């Protein structure tokens, strides 16, 4: 038996000005790894593709990795990049296989396709209409009917921060691997006998939850994801609630539920309806109230003044999170920190490759003045980039290479590109050349930043930082800065999103038992 495994992951912020070429889908070189190179890159990591490799090897089945592409969130994927990766997956399937295991995101938009995953699955079904397909998906998947109908088993992360990525790969792929082990002539039986691998039941609720209220560590998503795990314990192959990715102006963006049952369509439908009802009943708790930036900085100073703190106050610049497609070069929160004269502070990070190169030319210890950040225009917000003029001393210069310690993305290689730390007053400002969200302690230590020694730690993150850095926070202050990851949805011009939808339309209705299946 031969299995085709592939990874093609991107969360697309359609409001982001950051381009998404092929080189963004790899941390090393210009093209994503394929074949043995992909196996070497991901084996023994915490990724879903690693889980698929392990399952197939344990079953003694032959396999190939068609491609392993994983890009940081940004604007729509360039057509050339998409076709380069999809063509390799399709070519591998055309050569013949007994199953297809895919590590996807579920919120990919390309220059030509609103639903990049559905287009990939459509092409695969044309090539191999009877071959079973398993798909591992991100919790922020904007699930569509086309995706559900084309795949046999789909499973989504049940944690945010995403610390169950490997486990999700197992949940998605194991039913098909087990089925293959039991049916050595799977192609004939699957295509002609009418056998069904599993029963699928899915639906959407008309809501786009605020990302800042989506963490599975907190209510209401904590309870919803717990119920998904309970449903699996009661007999489902996979139960997933996708909070969706709201910064995508496409019709199927938003929250959904999917249940895969091995035996019973009616039971899957009941569980789906239960999960959708839980989501809708919690809709008000998924709305995020915004605090003015100056008030947030004042609260941070009050926390730091507490004699009992002993840990840094974490300032979240959540409007400019690169893991949601942010440019990572807006400076409103950093400027507020400087105005407030915060001491014993660090800020991760400002994306500015040009500034890094100028600092590299000067060398460690040099004093310099530069216009930092603000290189990207924010057309979706009708704003221009605003560089921040700073004077400081160069403290660190590095190539920016490291590995994630985990638990999120454990063992995977990471690169922030050539990077620097500029000491500006009492603040160590990290400046990087490649987008990386600070969800891992090694992201900071690779730059020589010791977060435990800080009174304030600014992170351009929303929720993922809690995976590897949550324990070090004495207090958390969420700062409304500037960026295309804004939590103010009214600042974004949605033209293609299905309407009505909550909370954009406060009078949106959803009745118990109602099933919406768009896309």
Report the C-alpha gap between 79 and 59 in whole angstroms: 36
Q: Is the pLDDT assigned to residue 155 strictly greater than 70?
A: yes
pLDDT, tens digit (0-9, with 9 covering 90-100), for 495-511: 999 999 999 999 999 99
| DSSP code string of 186-220 | HHHHHHHS---S-EEEEEE-SB---GGG--TTSTT
With b meaning 16 or more CB within 10 Å and e meaning fewer, what string describes 395-428? bbbbebebebebbbbbebebbbbbbbbbebebbb
pLDDT, tens digit (0-9, with 9 covering 90-100), for 289-302: 999 999 999 999 99
pLDDT, tens digit (0-9, with 9 covering 90-100), for 11-68: 999 999 999 999 999 987 889 999 999 999 999 999 999 999 999 999 999 999 999 9
pLDDT at 49: 98
pLDDT at 192: 30
Please return the burial class of 185, using the count of CB atoms within 10 Å of its CB with bins 0-12, 13-18 and 19+.
exposed
pLDDT, tens digit (0-9, with 9 covering 90-100), for 306-348: 856 789 999 999 999 999 999 999 999 999 999 999 999 999 9
pLDDT, tens digit (0-9, with 9 covering 90-100), for 449-466: 999 999 999 999 999 999
What confidence category does residue 193 fall into, taking pLDDT thresholds of 50, 70 and 90? very low
Average pLDDT, the chain: 95
CB 22 within 8 A of CB 32: yes
What confidence category does residue 186 fall into, taking pLDDT thresholds of 50, 70 and 90? very low
pLDDT at 27: 85
Q: Quick one: three-class SS letters along 285-354?
A: HHCCCCCCHHHHHHHHHHHHCCCCCCCCEEEEEHHHCHHHCCCCCCCHHHHHHHHCCCCCEEEEEEECHH
pTM over 0.85: yes
pLDDT at 28: 77
């Amino acid at each position: 038996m031969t299995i085709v495994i592939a990874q093609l992951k991107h969360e697309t912020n359609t409001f982001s000005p950051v381009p998404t070429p092929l080189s963004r889908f790899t941390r090393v070189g210009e093209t994503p790894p394929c074949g043995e190179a992909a196996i070497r890159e991901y084996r023994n990591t915490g990724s879903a593709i690693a889980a698929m490799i392990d399952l197939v090897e344990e079953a003694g089945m032959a396999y190939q990795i068609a491609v392993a592409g994983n890009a940081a969130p940004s604007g729509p994927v360039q057509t050339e990049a998409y076709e380069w990766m999809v063509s390799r997956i399709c070519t591998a399937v055309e050569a013949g296989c007994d199953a297809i295991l895919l590590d996807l995101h579920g919120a990919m938009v390309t220059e030509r396709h609103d639903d990049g995953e559905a287009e990939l699955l459509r092409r695969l079904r044309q090539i191999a209409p009877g071959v079973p397909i398993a798909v591992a998906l991100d919790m922020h998947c904007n699930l569509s009917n086309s995706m559900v109908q084309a795949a046999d088993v789909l499973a989504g992360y049940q944690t945010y921060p995403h610390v169950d990525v490997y486990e999700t790969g197992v949940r998605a792929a194991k039913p098909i691997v087990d089925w293959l082990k039991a049916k050595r002539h799977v192609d004939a039986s699957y295509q002609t006998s009418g056998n069904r691998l599993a029963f699928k039941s899915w639906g959407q609720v008309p809501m786009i939850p605020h990302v800042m209220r989506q963490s599975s560590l907190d209510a209401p998503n904590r309870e919803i994801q717990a119920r998904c795990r309970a449903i699996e314990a009661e007999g489902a192959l996979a139960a997933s609630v996708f909070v969706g990715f709201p910064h995508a102006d496409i019709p199927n963006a938003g929250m959904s539920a999917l249940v895969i049952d091995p035996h019973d369509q009616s039971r899957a439908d009941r569980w789906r309806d239960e999960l959708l009802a839980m989501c809708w009943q919690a809709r008000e708790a998924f709305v995020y109230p915004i605090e003015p930036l100056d008030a947030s900085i004042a609260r941070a100073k009050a926390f730091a003044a507490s004699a009992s703190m002993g840990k840094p106050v974490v300032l979240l610049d959540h409007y400019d999170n690169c893991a949601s497609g942010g440019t990572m070069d807006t400076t409103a929160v950093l400027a507020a920190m400087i105005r407030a004269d915060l001491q014993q502070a660090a800020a991760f990070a400002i994306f500015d490759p040009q500034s890094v190169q100028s600092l590299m030319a000067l060398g460690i210890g040099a004093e310099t003045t530069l216009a930092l950040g603000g290189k990207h225009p924010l057309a979706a917000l009708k704003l221009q980039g605003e560089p921040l003029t700073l004077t400081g001393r160069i403290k660190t210069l590095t190539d920016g290479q490291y590995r994630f310690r985990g638990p999120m993305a454990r063992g995977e290689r990471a690169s922030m590109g050539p990077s620097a730390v500029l000491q500006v007053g009492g603040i160590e400002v990290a400046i990087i050349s490649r987008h990386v969200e600070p969800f891992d302690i090694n992201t900071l230590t690779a730059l020589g930043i010791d977060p435990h020694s800080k009174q304030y730690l600014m992170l351009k993150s929303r929720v993922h930082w809690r995976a590897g850095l949550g324990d070090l926070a004495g207090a958390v202050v969420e700062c409304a800065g500037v960026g295309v990851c804004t939590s103010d949805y009214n600042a974004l011009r949605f033209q293609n999103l299905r309407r009505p939808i909550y909370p954009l339309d406060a009078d949106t209705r959803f009745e118990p038992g109602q099933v919406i299946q768009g896309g």
